[in-house]
Amino acid sequence: MRRYLVATTAAACVLGGPLAASELRDEALEYFQPLPSTLMAPADNTVTPEKIALGKALFFDPRMSASGVFSCNSCHNLATGGDDNLETSIGHGWQKGPRNSPTVFNAVFNIAQFWDGRAEDLKAQAKGPVQAAVEMANTPENVVATLISMPQYVAWFEGAFPGESAPVTFDNFARAIEAYEVTLTTPAPFDAFLNGNEEALDEQQKAGLQLFMDAGCVACHSGINVGGHDYYPFGLIEKPGADILPEGDIGRFAVTETADDEYVFRAAPLRNIAETAPYFHSGRVWGLHEAVQIMSESQLGAEMASGDVELIVAFLGSLTGAIPEVVLPALPAETGTTPKPTAQVMAE
Amino acid sequence: MRRYLVATTAAACVLGGPLAASELRDEALEYFQPLPSTLMAPADNTVTPEKIALGKALFFDPRMSASGVFSCNSCHNLATGGDDNLETSIGHGWQKGPRNSPTVFNAVFNIAQFWDGRAEDLKAQAKGPVQAAVEMANTPENVVATLISMPQYVAWFEGAFPGESAPVTFDNFARAIEAYEVTLTTPAPFDAFLNGNEEALDEQQKAGLQLFMDAGCVACHSGINVGGHDYYPFGLIEKPGADILPEGDIGRFAVTETADDEYVFRAAPLRNIAETAPYFHSGRVWGLHEAVQIMSESQLGAEMASGDVELIVAFLGSLTGAIPEVVLPALPAETGTTPKPTAQVMAE
């Protein structure tokens, strides 16, 4: 076990007194960017208020699943950090999903979607779970038939996609969900700090930020989302046990079929990480301190002193942002032509 | 089959011209009451803003279920009429519940809760699904342990139950949910009509209201909730088929063990009925027209002319109310002492 204690310099620095915040901020801005002050403009998808409102309705509508039981919000629950607090999600027929549900908050800033980046953007992602047999188990045809059966949805699609002769399509379903998800950003104290408010982080968080950069965490976790911007091997220096890194899930290799991508995953975006246990694609680690230590050992090849873990965790706490106010949509009622949910058939 | 056409007089009245709205209103007020203009005060449970806010958090928190998958809102979805649009709910381990999930909207005005009235009020009801093996499958001890593990919840309970030395109890959990549910009322055009706005119903709805009273529907469906206020045999005149009235579910008999209560159920409250298909305790009927016809035959012993069914359905549409604005709560994150969800164990 080649482990050593990292970052004693940074720790000593803390003992020596408050850090110079402006220097710290300058250094941080070399690695990180604050959330932008306006909505992102996704490719090939103009974001309008009508499209956002439609996307919100779709996001919360359990009738988008074949069973009628699950909505997007079931596994990306906006009340609980944008994820579901489970190791891996429970889906259609109580099947267990293969990987931990990532938070939908700030997902627009990730380089691509899913742990292996197999969806290039949020509208591509939105088409995945709705069709996955272990998640919502639906088909594009049944989604469209469900939507067309409700006049209110047809009117909403017409408003969101003006000028289209047949706007109720699976592609537009995905575009509307993307438009809504673009709004799901969570400004955090760390953004205020990056934007110039040097009091936004306390001394412990500042020391944690310094350590996060000095120890090398920043090599994989940088950018707007403090991660989520690129792909790295899990177990760069030392592979964690199969309980945490299951051998059967080889990560991005399944997407690229490139040997170098075995056990490569998109670096976890760390915004709201304190709200989104359990951790890693396997969801097998419930404590943030433990997760930081595992990262230190597997990615940096060094055990981290417990005081330093505390500092990192304190810094990560500054990434917990303000959740946008979400008013629950009033969804239209089914009509006689709405496809029936399959939940009952499954359960009998 | 002893069927005859009912209420031809009322139908003729429609053809004869507009009804005298003020006379209609006077007659309606003999049977119905509008929603009150202030919150109900449930027994033994002072409703305060703090208690309402806590109850809302609990209502939306899936960690109140053993699996971590289901919240109260899963089966009483405030975005879809306060119910789940399924024949019967899907619960823990994908088990099928025994009866159709009733809407939580306006439930405070029902004489008692559940289809058989086995819970005397909303706080008694709130303790049921959370413990039912086929629903949330939790225990009071585990609910309390979950809540106590999160300091924010403890603070919320302290604020909602001031002066109590140990406020985080299963009883107070239920009281808070009741306080929140008291706020879930949906003022409808019918209320405006009863309150004196005679233009709130259109002519078809007024004719439907007149017919609803003349045909005898009002014998079981009256009061604030147009039902929900008392118990009646399903199949008073003619038992519907076992597909709609399953023989194994003898209704209130299971509560009272009185022979007269075989196949007796609480009359369905009809507010928002157009939004809450499928119908009856079995949830086997998806169309409102069909449900009205079944009621006419089983309870009134007469087939209803299709035009009259249309009028009744039009009147029932005037019971669709305005859904209260619900801002999704931001729920606290788990801590190291929070009991783990059992979903994973179940699925493996």
DSSP per-residue codes, A211-260: HHHHTTGGGTS-BTTTS-SSEEETTSSSPPPTTTS-TT--BTHHHH--GG
pLDDT classification of A301: cutoffs 50, 70, 90:
very high
pLDDT at residue number A346: 58
- Which pLDDT does position B76 carry in this prediction? 97
Of A6-15, B11-20, B225-234, minimum mean pLDDT range: A6-15
A340 at the B interface (CB within 8 A)?
yes
Distance CA B296, CA B145 (A): 50
The string of DSSP letters for B1-44 reads -------HHHHHHHHT----HHHHHHHHHHHB-PPPSS----TT
Average pLDDT of chain B is: 92
If one compares B229 and A20, the residue with the highest pLDDT of the two is B229
Distance of alpha carbon B321 from alpha carbon B39, whole angstroms? 16
pLDDT tens sequence across A59-99: 999 999 999 999 999 999 999 999 999 999 999 999 999 99
What are phi and psi for residue A47, nearest 5 degrees?
Answer: -90, 120
* Nearby residues of A176 by Cβ (< 8 Å), 6 or more positions away: A51, A52, A54, A55, A58, A157, A160
pLDDT tens sequence across B134-168: 999 999 999 999 999 999 999 999 999 999 999 99
A101: pLDDT strictly greater than 50: yes
Contact A119, A112 (CB under 8 A): yes
A206, A317 contact by CB (below 8 A): no
Compare CB distances from B334 to A62, A85, A343 and report the shortest one's residue: A85
Give yes or no for residue B10 having a pLDDT over 60. Answer: no
Q: Name the residue facing B333 among A86, A87, A275 (closest C-beta).
A: A275
Cβ B110 vs Cβ B42: under 8 Å? no
d(CA B128, CA B283) in angstroms, rounded, equals 20
pLDDT at B197 over 80: yes
Yes or no: say if A201 and A193 are a contact pair by the CB < 8 Å rule. Answer: yes
**What is the reported pLDDT for B9?**
44
Question: CB-side exposure of A27: number of CA atoms within 13 Å?
Answer: 15
User: For chain A, how far is it from start to end, CA to CA, in angstroms?
Assistant: 53
Under a CB-based contact definition with an 8 Å cutoff, are residues A84 and B62 in contact?
A: yes
Condensed to tens digits (0 to 9), the pLDDT of residues A241-282 reads 888 998 888 898 889 889 898 898 999 999 999 999 999 999
Copy the structure tokens of residue B229. 């206020």
Looking at residue B344, its amino acid is: Q
Which residues of A are marked as active site? 135
Q: Are strands A264-266 and B90-91 parallel, antiparallel or unpaired?
A: unpaired
8 Å CB contact between B332 and B150: yes
CA-closest candidate to residue A333, choices B187, B244, B77: B77
Q: B58, B254, B228, B168: which is closest to A79 by C-alpha?
A: B58
pLDDT the model gives residue B1: 38
Q: Tell me the chain A residues in contact with residue B84 when contact means C-beta distances shorter than 8 Å.
A: 62, 68-69
**Higher-pLDDT residue of B21, B25:** B25
Helix (H, G, I), strand (E, B) or coil at B223: strand
Q: Given this model, what pLDDT does residue B348 score?
A: 47
Interchain CB contact of A206 with B (< 8 Å): no
Q: Which two tokens stand for residue A194?
A: 């990056």
Q: How many CA atoms lie within 13 A of B125 on its CB side?
A: 25
Interchain contact, A86 vs B346, CB within 8 Å: no
Please report the DSSP string for B131-147 in residue order: H-TTTT---HHHHHHHH
pLDDT tens figures, B277-321? 999 999 999 999 999 999 999 999 999 999 999 999 999 999 999
Per-residue pLDDT at B25 exceeds 90 = yes
Tell whether A334 lies on the interface with B, counting CB pairs under 8 A: yes
Q: What is the mean pLDDT of residues B313-338?
A: 97
DSSP reduced 3-state for B327: strand
Residues 6+ apart with CB under 8 A from A56: A180, A326, A329
d(Cα A65, Cα B114) in Å, to the nearest integer?
A: 27
Judge whether residue B4 has pLDDT over 90.
no
pLDDT at B21: 72
**Residue B12: predicted pLDDT:** 43
Which two tokens mark A160?
């969101």
Q: Which residues of B touch A275 (CB under 8 A)?
A: 333
Are the C-beta atoms of B179 and B51 separated by less than 8 Å?
Answer: yes
The CA distance from B53 to B38, in Å, is: 17
Tell me what ipTM this predicted complex has: 0.91
> Is the distance from CB of A16 to CB of A203 less than 8 angstroms?
no
Closest-CA residue of B relative to A71 is: B74
pLDDT of residue A54: 98
Tell me, yes or no, if A330 comes closer than 8 A to chain B by beta carbon. Answer: yes
CB B83 within 8 A of CB B76: yes
| Total beta-carbon pairs less than 8 A apart between chain A and chain B | 117
Which residues pair with residue B268 across a beta bridge?
Answer: none
Greatest mean pLDDT range, A1-5, A56-60, A121-125, B242-246: A56-60
What does the pLDDT read at residue A345?
Answer: 61
Q: How far apart are CA A121 and CA A38, in angstroms?
A: 18
Phi first, then psi: give them for residue A318, nearest 5 degrees: -75, -5
Q: Do A79 and B61 touch (CB under 8 A)?
A: yes
Q: Average of pLDDT values for A312-326?
A: 97
Predicted model pTM: 0.92
Residue B7 has pLDDT above 50, yes or no: no
Closest CA relative to residue A79, chosen from B294, B285, B253, B331: B331
Judged by a CB distance cut-off of 8 A, whether residue B135 touches chain A is no
Instruction: Find the closest chain A residue to B75 by CA distance.
Output: A69
Which tens digits make up the pLDDT trace of B249-270? 889 888 988 889 888 899 999 9
Which residue type is seen at B102? Answer: P
Contact B85 A63 (CB under 8 A): yes
Contacts of A99 in chain B (CB under 8 A): none
Could you tell me the pLDDT band of residue B247, with boundaries at 50, 70 and 90?
confident
User: Lowest-confidence range among A215-219, B40-44, B148-152, B237-241?
Assistant: B237-241
- Chain A residues in contact with B345 by the CB 8 A cut-off are none
- Asked whether the predicted pLDDT for residue A8 surpasses 80, the reply is no
User: Which is nearest to B43 in space by CA: B123, B116, B117, B104?
Assistant: B123
Catalytic residue among B30, B120, B135, B348: B135
Helix axes A306-317, A288-300, angle to 10 degrees: 110
Residue B263 phi/psi, 5-degree rounding, is 60, 25
Using the structure block, give the residue that is written with the tokens 């429609």.
B14
Instruction: Copy the structure tokens of residue A43.
Output: 């490719």
Residues of B in contact with A330 (CB under 8 A): 79, 323
Quick one: tokens of A11? 């720790």
- Please state, for a pLDDT cut of 90, what percent of chain A lies above it: 81
DSSP alpha helix (H) spans, chain A? 8-15, 21-31, 49-59, 72-75, 122-126, 140-148, 151-160, 170-182, 189-194, 203-214, 253-256, 288-300, 306-317, 343-347
Q: Is the pLDDT of residue B210 over 80?
A: yes
Q: How confident is the prediction for chain A on average, in pLDDT?
A: 92
Residue with tokens 């499928």: B278
Question: Residue A131's CB: how many other CB atoms inside 10 A?
Answer: 16
Q: How far apart are CA A88 and CA A95, in angstroms?
A: 10
Q: Which two tokens stand for residue B49?
A: 């803003």
Q: Which of residues 248-307 of B touch A (CB under 8 A)?
A: 274-277, 286-287
User: Do residues B96 and B134 make contact, with C-beta atoms less than 8 angstroms apart?
Assistant: yes
Task: Say what the pLDDT of residue B347 is.
Answer: 54
